[in-house]
């Protein structure tokens, strides 16, 4: 199946092929770096927090049930557009999942912290948003996912990503297993606003209205280009969804 920012990924098929839906919890142990002046002293050892097991199947469902919708915001943070999206979400009383690129998180840590402070969730969107990741080696996939997780966690002040979204839907069985083993549920989407193409606010709104019956997870972007149309589309879409009886939640973990 071809992959691009405008097409979702069929997680059920991949999960069936893999034959794995959950992974065991992972416990890691770290060794403290000894100070040069501590020569001869025993090095401290401590157990890192246990990472809860999550499913390696790509999730689309909402934790708010049949009338739940998951708003997901990709590719940021961005110094111009992320603050506008955050303000709009705050004014609307909506929580979202922000799928962050590692280099962006590293460049704008205050925005990562602002996302967390407002009660939104973090999602790992790799270091460099390489949409051909599924053609690359496992070592490369690991570097992209794990380095991004470290960048995002550091930028956030220690908050870890709860999800992993492959750029352009370029999941592999290996990347899904790896993400799940580090507590990040692979995250897909059902409704692509196609805002990355800047088709116009009306077109984005129409797309969401027409496709929301396909499933609860909606894809928008707060970076990767000029996003004024996205902001205006969200301003129209959010109240419309509420009028239709939808409630905003987070993807099932």
> What Å distances lie between residue 33 and 36, 43, 85, 158, CA to CA?
9, 7, 40, 19
Higher pLDDT, 35 or 205: 205
Strands 29-31 and 45-47: antiparallel
The mean predicted confidence, pLDDT, of the chain is 85
| Active-site residue, from 60, 120, 125, 221 | 221
Residue 188 lies in a domain: yes
- Whole-number Cα distances in Å, 98 to 20, 60, 127, 173, 239: 26, 15, 14, 23, 20
- The pLDDT tens digits for 53-89 are 799 999 999 999 999 999 999 999 999 999 999 999 9
Q: What is the pLDDT of residue 3?
A: 42
CATH code of the domain covering residue 67:
3.20.20.370
Q: Is the pLDDT at 35 greater than 50, yes or no? A: no
Alpha-helical regions (H) of 73-194: 81-92, 102-107, 109-117, 138-156, 173-181
181 domain-assigned: yes
- What are the structure tokens assigned to 205, written together? 């709104």
Among this protein's residues, is 195 annotated catalytic? no
CB 51 within 8 A of CB 82: no
Of 13-22, 152-161, 192-201, which range is least confident? 13-22
Tell me the per-residue pLDDT of 133-154, one tens digit each, with 9 for 90 and over: 999 999 999 999 999 999 999 9
The verdict on residue 199 lying in a domain is yes
The whole-model pTM stands at 0.82
* Residue at 49 is within a domain: no
Within 157-223, strands assigned E span 163-164, 185-186, 191-192, 217-221
The answer to whether residue 78 is catalytic is no
Round to whole Å and give the CA distance between 127 and 107.
12
In a domain, 231, yes or no: yes
Residue 133 confidence (pLDDT): 96
Please report which confidence band the pLDDT of residue 245 belongs to, taking 50, 70 and 90 as the band edges: very high
C-alpha distances (whole Å) from 2 to each of 8, 163, 224 are 10, 23, 21
**pLDDT exceeds 70 at position 173:** yes
22 within some domain: no
Q: What percent of the chain has pLDDT over 70?
A: 80
Per-residue pLDDT band at 26 (split at 50, 70, 90): very low
Task: Inform me whether the pLDDT recorded for 110 exceeds 60.
Answer: yes
Q: Which of 60, 74, 75, 182 is catalytic?
A: 74
Q: Smallest Cα–Cα separation from 155: which of 220, 82, 64?
A: 82
Total domain count, the chain:
1
Is 23 inside a domain boundary?
no
On whether residue 20 sits in a domain, the answer given is: no
Structural domain containing residue 212: 57-249
> What's the confidence (pLDDT) of residue 5?
41
Q: What is the pLDDT of residue 50?
A: 52
CA separation for the pair 150, 155 (Å, rounded): 8
Measured distance CA(165)–CA(179) in Å, rounded: 9
């Amino acid at each position: 199946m071809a992959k691009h920012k405008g097409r979702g990924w069929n997680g059920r098929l991949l999960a069936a092929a893999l034959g794995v839906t959950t992974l065991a919890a992972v416990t890691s142990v770290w060794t403290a770096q000894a100070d040069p002046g501590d020569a001869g002293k025993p090095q401290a050892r401590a157990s890192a927090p246990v990472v809860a097991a999550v499913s390696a199947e790509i999730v689309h469902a909402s934790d708010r049930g049949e009338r739940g919708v998951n708003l997901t915001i990709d590719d940021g943070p961005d110094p111009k557009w992320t603050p506008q999206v955050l303000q709009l979400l705050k004014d609307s009383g909506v929580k979202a999942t922000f799928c962050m690129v590692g280099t962006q998180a590293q460049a704008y840590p205050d925005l990562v912290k602002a996302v967390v402070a407002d009660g939104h969730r973090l999602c790992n969107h790799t270091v460099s948003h390489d949409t051909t990741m599924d053609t690359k080696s496992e070592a490369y996939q690991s570097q992209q996912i794990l380095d991004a997780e470290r960048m995002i966690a550091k930028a956030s002040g220690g908050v870890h990503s709860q999800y992993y979204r492959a750029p352009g839907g370029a999941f592999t069985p290996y990347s899904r297993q790896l993400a799940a083993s580090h507590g990040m549920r692979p995250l897909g989407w059902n409704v692509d606003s196609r805002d990355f193409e800047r088709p116009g606010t009306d077109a984005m709104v129409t797309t969401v209205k027409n496709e929301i019956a396909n499933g609860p997870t909606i894809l928008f972007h707060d970076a990767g280009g000029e996003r004024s149309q996205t902001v205006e589309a969200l301003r129209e879409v959010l109240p419309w969804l509420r009028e239709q009886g939808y409630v905003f939640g987070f993807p099932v973990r």
